[in-house]
Structure 1
């Protein structure tokens, strides 16, 4: 049997759909034919995961045939999500059974490049990123009150889309604007969204905006001193070695802010290959703590996807990534190109979580609760969000669909969709930090 992935908007098709008639399927599989219930689809995915783990090629083929019958890239949220899981499982099966099945397991996610204007629309679509921007900017603004010089060390995947709002707020500060310096690392995880201009061009645009509103501004890209810039051969130790006062040109009269937006999960959380005696993720936290920042902001998706268990990843991923598919359903038509593009970027994530292992699997989320414990273990204290910040986030959410909400946990704010956790934001300071 051959499964063919034709393009981003076409469901997976099988050359011979009658190869596995209903009479040959187990009762569990037959019961799901035509059933679009999320619980039943989850059972199918787990059947497939179990078959892959037990090297049962026949059962894998059967389950994939059933999944293909319920999947559609232009259907309801369950169907659309299932179509991307099917693609990811085919990619996985093509590696588990390289000769037993003639699967085309190559990636079909189009790595589209966006203009700055398109990226702005992408960020505004749902509050997935804007929630973190709003909470972080408000916390940063409060933390640097009274500071005449500020240096932001920015680790994020959204190409500095966060900063125009902060620049504008600082320019209007009652005591006058500070001078602002933003530094970004040369390395960025190779994940959507992708921008069609360089970071230097982004910095120039920010500088022009800051000049227009009379805010002193400087933008720096932390240069790559290693031999390779390509992700997965990236030298994490080289990155960490450059996070020092000399390379970053830290100045004693500047307030240092460290901003991590959907970024920490791309640092491996195992010791393999690290020279630090600890994981790169923990080593990063140790390294930036020494820089003595005034505030560190951590924002990421609130789910645990770092487990080695394939079946656990499938269950967690399916129940978590249902959220954006369901949210987009509330205001975009089924054939919306903008919706299909956004879902394709989520498909990129699913493909990596489900289809890859080892160093090739870079999507290794940890929940806000686990991140909070990690920060405390590494010598950080939580900075609670004040009522002003909470009010700003609530105002932001009023601009979006009614299903979005926010709850305040002990160490964080959490964006929710219909009561389900989606993104967390937390703020930290090294224990013993003094102004």
Structure 2
């Protein structure tokens, strides 16, 4: 695994910008994001977390660093040593800062402390003999309570904030779009199937690229899958309006389902003569909760569609380990780096940072650390594992093109100039990370 070389000349850099509809359409995408933000802002406001603090202090009793103390608490929780767990949580409750004010280490520590407290609460509630312990420590555990699940509006607002303040989603969208456009060259009818389309912000750049295609645009059918009929309707209307400005023949097909595993080939209404592209961004990992048979069945269903390209974006992390301490350690390292990247690129009191950390990353941390069994949904895997899974299902990798590599580098230069973000290339996929740690991966398959 190695970082990509920088582009060679300013002339080449400018030529790539001028000739690249994906990057040239960022202004249009910005306008769409502002429009969606205006619709969501009223319903998506967050209430501050309630963790108290006596002031900034990153060191625990006996001079132990706060991070080490959190790991010691995780070890006690793993042993189900209730007294030690509660004692450590009592100290952490007074020392871990509110995420809005602490540095990245203190903020990530706050979310992991809450997740550990929630795991202790679940252990206590599952054991009748521990009911007296819960009663005597209910104040502490309630003070570390994980906030109620976010509303659909809050989740969608957090998704937009994540897209706006970090390069990870735009990197995934840009790289996947390039693969789709390259594979659909010359095709007359394209059916794009997007699992969890959200607000559809991935697709305006691709639509513009198709509209400007030499030889004329194809007819684009877009099946947008999601859980909210109202949000799908709004997304479809925005994309249809945008398609009209491009003179791009376009159909939007909303598909409302509770979760991606409920989708069947019959629901997707494919037609003879069209060429299928499937897009799956940060969704496939959720099928791991259901076991290998469910994931196998889903990929077999995708195979029946005979897609010319299947684009896949996932976290580069192993949070699917059944040993709690292994999972906790991997998760802490992953989110510690993510929070460092946010701190390096956003002001301390940025509302976008708070939204992304609390609604997006915070709830992931809570699920990975505090849940087991069917409640444990966030089961990210590294690309090596996804490569084996995809190969066993009959898919073959499509190496990223030279142009895809160059435009990913351009994306970082144009919109996220921090020196900390780095691109990696490994085994026919592209990865984006912070410093030396890859965090997100994008790959294409056929």
Q: Pick the TM interval, shorter chain.
A: 0.7 to 0.9
Q: Distance in 2 between matches of 1:309 and 1:417?
A: 27
TM-score (ref. length: structure 2): 0.79
Q: How does 1:283-362 map to 2 (within 5 A)?
A: 283-345=297-359, 346-362=361-377
TM-score (normalizing by structure 1): 0.81
1:130 is matched with 170
What runs of 5+ residues in structure 2 fail to find an aligned partner?
1-45, 126-130
Q: Which residue of the partner structure matches residue 71 of structure 1?
A: 96
User: Is 383-392 or 101-110 further displaced after alignment?
Assistant: 101-110
Cα shift readout 1:45-84 (whole Å, capped 9, x = no counterpart): 3322222232211110222234335422121110000001
In 2 relative to 1, CA 344–116 (structure 1 residues): closer, same or farther, beyond 3 Å?
Answer: closer
1:158 CA drift (Å) = 3.9
Give the stretch that moved more between structures: 156-165 or 410-419. 156-165
Which stretch of the first structure deviates more once superposed, 210-219 or 278-287? Answer: 278-287
Matched, 1:416 2:416: no
Q: Give the alignment of 1:27-426 within 5 angstroms.
A: 30-33=61-64, 35-36=65-66, 41=67, 43-72=68-97, 73=99, 74-98=101-125, 99=131, 100-101=133-134, 102=138, 103-104=141-142, 106-108=145-147, 111=150, 113=153, 120-156=160-196, 158-187=198-227, 198-224=231-257, 229=258, 236=261, 239-240=262-263, 242-244=264-266, 247-271=267-291, 278-345=292-359, 346-398=361-413, 399-400=415-416, 401-426=418-443
Q: What per-residue deviation string (whole Å, max 9, x for no partner) do you get for residues 289-319 of structure 1?
A: 1211000011011001111111111101110
- Per-residue Cα deviation, 1:203-236 (whole angstroms, up to 9, x for no partner): 1110111011100111112255xxxx4xxxx694
Q: Indicate if the aligned counterparts of 2:277 and 2:307 stay in contact, CA closer than 8 A.
A: yes
| Count of residues in Structure 1 that have an aligned counterpart in Structure 2 | 379
- Structure with greater helix share of residues: 2
Tell me if structure 2 keeps the 8 A contact 1:12–1:87. Answer: no
Indicate conservation of the 8 Å contact 2:116/2:369, yes or no.
yes
2:25 aligned residue:
none
Q: Which moved more, 1:53-62 or 1:255-264?
A: 53-62
Per-residue deviation, residues 278-299 of structure 1 (Å, max 9, x unmatched): 5211211111012110000110
> By how many angstroms is 1:347 displaced?
0.6
- Deviation string, structure 1 residues 110-165 (Cα, Å, up to 9, x no partner): 62525989864541211121110010001101000000110011113643220111
Q: Which runs of 5+ in 1 are unaligned?
A: 1-5, 15-27, 189-195, 272-277, 430-435
Change (3 A) 1:394 1:315: same
2: CA distance, partners of 1:32 / 1:96 = 30
